[in-house]
């Protein structure tokens, strides 16, 4: 069964004349690493907020269509009920941490649902270890770097043991190295814990290699959906304005010039490097 399924989802913010997402029908299977991309203002953020019911419960406005997440109809259930199933990590790490110590922040969700203290301690420590911030658990959020703050944000949704983690451009405030570390943490959670990941991101150079499901949005609608290798190789994707990985672009340029490096479109520099080495190997 699909863990997230939407049918003809259309949503208009209160007071807006145009809908922000239009007729979105997607299906996400359990354990997938989904990448959502598209130009700014294409409705990615709004779509993310429908997954845990912030849209429409927090924002009001008009939501048409059907949506079920982890078997729950988000239209009929409040965001705090969804919080146990869907963790949402926001763009600005600073505005999602409100406690005076990191471990207290990680515990926030568990405190809210009333988990007993010993169990809470165990889950908090587990989440801190998973994201590699156990050693700084007593520091205050203001004292740590943006990358660490974002890892705290991930740990704090992870502690709730959700089935799905949705990350809305989690690295746009970070430098490339911190960003890469964040992606590695997310990938590990996806691989080892089997958590379904939905990642909204512009930096496909760094993330495409992790994903096995790509959704390209434009003007509120889903334009392309499916296997990242196929979609990133298509001309349409480029025209929408998606930041196609350099390795993929180079592969296509070479292909156009008649140099075929293999059937599989590379998504990362490593993959392309392997293909090139294979092609350049002296044959006897």
Partner 1 sequence: MSVFDGLRFRKVHSPIHNLDPRIKFVYVIAIFVAAIIFYQIIPLLILFLIQIPFVLLARVQRQWLRSLRGAAFLATFIFVVNVATTFFTSGYHFTAPNIENAAAMTMRFVVLVESFSVFFLTTSPDHLGLALEESRVPYEFAFAFTTAVRFVPVLAEEAQTIMDAQKARGLELEKGGILKRIRNYVPVLIPLIVSAIRRSLELAEAMESRAWGATKKRTNLYALKLHKGDYALVAIIVGILIATVYIRLYVPIPTIASFF
Residues at the site binding partner 1, with contacts judged by CB under 8 A: 52, 54, 57-58, 79-81, 83-84, 87-88, 90, 92, 94-101, 103-104, 107-117, 120-121, 124, 138-142, 156-157, 160
CB atoms within 10 A of CB 250: 15
- For partner 1, the closer of residues 111 and 175 by Cβ is 111
- For partner 1, the closer of residues 121 and 223 by Cβ is 121
In a 13 Å sphere around the CA of 121, the CA atoms on its Cβ side amount to: 2
Which residues are paired to 58 by β-bridges?
none
Q: Which two tokens stand for residue 19?
A: 């809908």
Strand order in the sheet with 221-226: 86-89, 164-168, 196-200, 33-37, 213-218, 221-226
Question: Using an 8 Å Cβ cutoff, are 34 and 197 in contact?
Answer: yes
- For partner 1, the closer of residues 25 and 92 by Cβ is 92
- For partner 1, the closer of residues 95 and 264 by Cβ is 95
Nearest to 186 by CA among 205, 202, 216, 206: 206
Per-residue burial over 130-161, b = 16 or more CB atoms within 10 Å of its CB, e = otherwise: bbebbebbebebeebebbbbbbbbbbbbbbbe
Q: Which two tokens stand for residue 117?
A: 């203290």
Question: Using an 8 Å Cβ cutoff, are 3 and 168 in contact?
Answer: no
- For partner 1, the closer of residues 142 and 256 by Cβ is 142
Cα Dmax for the chain: 70
- For partner 1, the closer of residues 93 and 245 by Cβ is 93
Separation CA 246–CA 104 (nearest Å)? 41
Separation CA 260–CA 64 (nearest Å)? 46
Minimum distance from residue 92 beta carbon to partner 1 (Å): 6
Q: Which two tokens stand for residue 124?
A: 């908090």
Minimum distance from residue 21 beta carbon to partner 1 (Å): 17
- For partner 1, the closer of residues 133 and 206 by Cβ is 133
């Amino acid at each position: 069964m699909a863990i997230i399924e939407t049918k003809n989802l259309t949503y208009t913010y209160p007071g807006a004349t145009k809908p922000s997402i239009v007729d979105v029908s997607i299906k996400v299977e359990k354990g997938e690493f989904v990448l959502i991309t598209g130009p700014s203002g294409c409705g990615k953020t709004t779509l993310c907020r429908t997954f845990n019911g912030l849209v429409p419960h927090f924002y009001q406005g008009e939501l048409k269509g059907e949506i079920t997440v982890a078997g729950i109809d988000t239209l009929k259930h409040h965001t705090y009920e969804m919080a146990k199933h869907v963790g949402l990590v926001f763009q600005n790490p600073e505005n999602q941490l409100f406690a005076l110590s990191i471990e207290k922040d990680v515990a926030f969700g568990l405190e809210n649902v009333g988990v007993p203290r010993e169990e809470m301690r165990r889950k908090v420590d587990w989440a801190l270890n998973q994201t590699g911030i156990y050693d700084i658990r007593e520091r205050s959020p203001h004292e740590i770097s943006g990358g660490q703050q974002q890892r705290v944000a991930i740990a704090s949704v992870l502690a709730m043991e959700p089935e799905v983690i949705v990350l809305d451009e989690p690295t746009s405030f970070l430098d490339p190295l911190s960003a890469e570390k964040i992606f590695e943490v997310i990938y590990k959670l996806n691989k080892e814990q089997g958590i379904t990941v939905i990642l909204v991101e512009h930096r496909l150079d760094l993330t495409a290699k992790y994903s096995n499901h790509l959704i390209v949005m434009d003007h509120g609608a889903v334009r392309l959906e499916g296997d990242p290798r196929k979609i990133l190789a298509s001309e349409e994707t480029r025209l929408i304005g998606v930041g196609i990985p350099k390795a993929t672009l180079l592969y296509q340029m070479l292909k156009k010039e008649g140099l075929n490096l293999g059937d599989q479109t590379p998504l990362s520099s490593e993959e392309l490097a392997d293909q090139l080495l294979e092609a350049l190997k002296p044959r006897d």
